[in-house]
Structure 1
Amino acid sequence: MSPDDEYTAYVSGRLPWLRRVAYLLCQDWHRADDLVQSAITRLYVKWRRARAADDLDAYVRVILVRVFLAEQRGGWFSRVRVTHAPPAAPAAHENHDLALDLRRALTAVPPRQRATLVLRFHCDLSVEQTAQVLGCSTGTVKSQTARGLAALRAELGPSYSHVPYPHLTHTEER
């Protein structure tokens, strides 16, 4: 199989996963598609090195998160605002109201904290793995996680204080 065929097969198989991770980062399906497009373009340029990686998904996840964070710092995000539309797919969660409220609250969390929460709780990465993806120390990951969870709780307010969030309160190292 040629390198281009390998790349095409990988991207085709992982596209839904990439879209979900991108959506959790930016909370907009159209913007998520743009992030994924940028990430897979960068992946194509680095494909020969990437395909030799021990964990290709981890390699691509790093690219996607870095594209998201770079966009947050750059001028595009401050100049362009996309309209909010309902998610293209229904929430695959038992408590749909909680899932929608969590997504809405996640938009209020600063981008780096949001990226930390998505990597830790959606992608199920350890503190060390998250630090490697974000290019920071494990202490920074822990503090960003704590601050991000506090921001989520503050945004959700007291109406959700009785709901157990095992996936949001997990902060110990794995």
Structure 2
Amino acid sequence: MTVEEFEEFYAQAVARLTGQLYVMTGDLQEAQDVVQEAFVKGWIRRRQLERDGHPEAWIRKAAWRLAVSRWRFRRRSADAWHRGSGTPEHVEPPDPGHVVLVEALRELPAQQRRTLTLYYLCDLTVEQIAGETGLSTSTIKTHLVRGRAALAHRLEDPRMEEAPDV
């Protein structure tokens, strides 16, 4: 992958990947950080990305692993968890529906949240999700069914329980 090809790939994929990781992690700043870091790793391995043929999946998987690694580090180090850059002077309040959805997603187990994101936002098939996560297709289907049911309950929307079978 040439420099120009990588720059074009970055321009086309960064916003989409950041959005996907935001849903997976529930933290926009964290999503931005891990996606950027994953792209740096991808830059170093851009020839491998070209050979593999699925650079976006590689970046998404690397970003997810970075997020998980960061969570583990924060558990071990209270100092790392407490550091921050301060709050902005004025921030517009988020849309109430967005807040409810993000809170409902945060209550799901991380693997269910990741599976729902890969299926609904990334538009991956059950088989593709299994390949990316290393889980069996039956486990992916279970995560999807349970995740949809949990969200429907948390969001009190009976239509979500009627989602099409996977």
Query: Which among 52, 73, 76 is matched to residue 75 of structure 1?
Result: 73
Aligned 8 A contact 2:35 2:60 in 1 = no
Aligned 8 A contact 1:25 1:114 in 2 = yes
- More helix, by proportion: 2
Aligned 8 A contact 1:127 1:141 in 2 = yes
Task: Report the Cα offset of residue 161 of structure 1.
Answer: 3.3
Any idea what the Cα deviations from partners look like across 1:64-83, whole Å, max 9, x if unmatched? 333333434x2225642679
Any idea what the Cα deviations from partners look like across 1:49-94, whole Å, max 9, x if unmatched? 102333332332222333333434x222564267999xx9998xxx
Cα distance in 2, alignment partners of residues 119 and 128 from structure 1: 11
The 1:68–1:47 alpha-carbon spacing in structure 2 relative to 1, beyond 3 Å, is: same
2:51 alignment partner, SS class: coil
In structure 1, runs of 5+ residues without a counterpart are none
Report the RMSD for the aligned CA atoms in angstroms.
Answer: 3.1
Cα distance in 1, alignment partners of residues 165 and 55 from structure 2: 26
Any idea what the Cα deviations from partners look like across 1:20-77, whole Å, max 9, x if unmatched? 11111112221111111221122122211102333332332222333333434x2225
Task: Report the Cα offset of residue 100 of structure 1.
Answer: 3.5
* Aligned equivalent of 2:165: 172
Any idea what the Cα deviations from partners look like across 1:87-127, whole Å, max 9, x if unmatched? x9998xxxx65444222210111111110110011111111
> What is the aligned length?
159
The 1:59–1:153 alpha-carbon spacing in structure 2 relative to 1, beyond 3 Å, is: same
Q: Percent identity?
A: 26
In structure 2, runs of 5+ residues without a counterpart are none
Instruction: Give 1:62's aligned amino acid.
Output: K
Cα distance in 2, alignment partners of residues 26 and 77 from structure 1: 15
Alignment of 1:1-174 (within 5 A): 3-72=2-71, 74-76=72-74, 79=78, 80=81, 97-156=96-155, 160-162=156-158, 164-165=159-160, 170=163, 172-173=165-166
Q: TM-score, normalized by length of structure 1?
A: 0.74
1:24 alignment partner, SS class: helix
Aligned 8 A contact 2:38 2:63 in 1 = yes
